[in-house]
């Protein structure tokens, strides 16, 4: 059972990277038989991996039809980013009131700055997400941290579609600026974080619009 769980976790990681790289078009179905043959694993391993990705918001499951890549709609993006704003801005307010040091945010921002221009896109997405996870973590509030963790992979999936308009360098520049504002504290820090999230939401909507135009 342990070996099967490890195999399912590895397969989930491989599929997660492919989803973040855009290798599956929205609406694409992931067939168990095909994945089992492709990765040379059993159907139960595939099923377990797909369940993990569905639970984390990277895939959707339809009864008797299996797993598929979600279609993105503006309403879904708006709701997800509104939820994200509540969690991140609320966490930042708590962290500022506790006068928590921002060094962890500086470290995660430096990690994004250090990525090479040709870094794999899933790595860029995860490194960027680490900055925002760190901000939530500074609240020290386990309920906020758990709530954020529950939507984090879906956030990564949605954010991933901003390529090629966004690059590691562009994201690093935006978050270096964000860090400077965070260090000032107070309303300036809160407003900067809210603005950064809004920039992200608009980038996703723009990417969706461009993709729709290209395929229409």
**pLDDT tens readout for residues 118-140:** 999 999 999 999 999 999 999 99
Q: Where is the domain boundary, 11, 36, 68?
A: 68
Domain of 19, in residue numbers:
2-68
Residue 4: the pLDDT is 44
In sequence order, what are the residues at sequence separation of 6 or more whose Cβ sits closer than 8 angstroms to the Cβ of residue 101?
none
Phi/psi of residue 67, nearest 5 degrees: -95, 145
Do 64 and 80 have their domain in common? no
Same domain, 63 and 85: no
The better pLDDT of the pair 192, 210 is held by 192
- Nearest Cα neighbor of 127 from 160, 100, 97 is 160
In this structure, the answer to whether residues 127 and 148 fall within a common structural domain is: yes
Residues 107 and 6 in one domain: no
Taking only the tens place, the pLDDT of each residue in 43-88 is: 999 999 999 999 988 999 887 788 999 888 999 999 999 999 999 9
Residue 216: predicted pLDDT: 63
- Residue 120: strand, helix, or coil: coil
Mean pLDDT, the chain, as a whole number?
93
């Amino acid at each position: 059972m342990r070996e099967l769980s490890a195999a399912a976790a590895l397969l989930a990681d491989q599929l997660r990277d492919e989803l973040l790289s855009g290798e599956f078009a929205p609406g694409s179905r992931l067939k168990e038989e095909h994945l089992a043959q492709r990765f040379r694993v059993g159907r139960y391993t595939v099923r377990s991996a797909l369940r993990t990705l569905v639970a984390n918001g990277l895939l959707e499951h339809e009864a008797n039809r299996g797993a598929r890549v979600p279609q993105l709609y503006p309403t879904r993006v708006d709701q997800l980013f509104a939820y994200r704003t509540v969690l991140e801005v609320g966490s930042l307010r708590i962290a500022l009131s506790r006068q928590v040091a921002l060094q962890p945010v500086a470290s995660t921002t430096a990690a994004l700055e250090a990525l090479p221009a040709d870094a794999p896109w899933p790595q860029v997405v995860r490194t960027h997400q680490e900055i925002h996870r760190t901000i939530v973590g500074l609240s020290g509030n386990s309920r906020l941290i758990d709530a954020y963790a529950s939507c984090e992979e879906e956030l990564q999936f949605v954010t991933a579609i901003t390529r090629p308009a966004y690059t590691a360098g562009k994201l690093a520049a935006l978050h270096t600026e964000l860090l400077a504002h965070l260090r000032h504290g107070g309303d300036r820090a809160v407003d900067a974080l809210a603005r950064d999230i809004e920039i992200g939401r608009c980038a996703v909507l723009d990417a969706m619009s461009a993709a729709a135009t290209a395929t229409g």
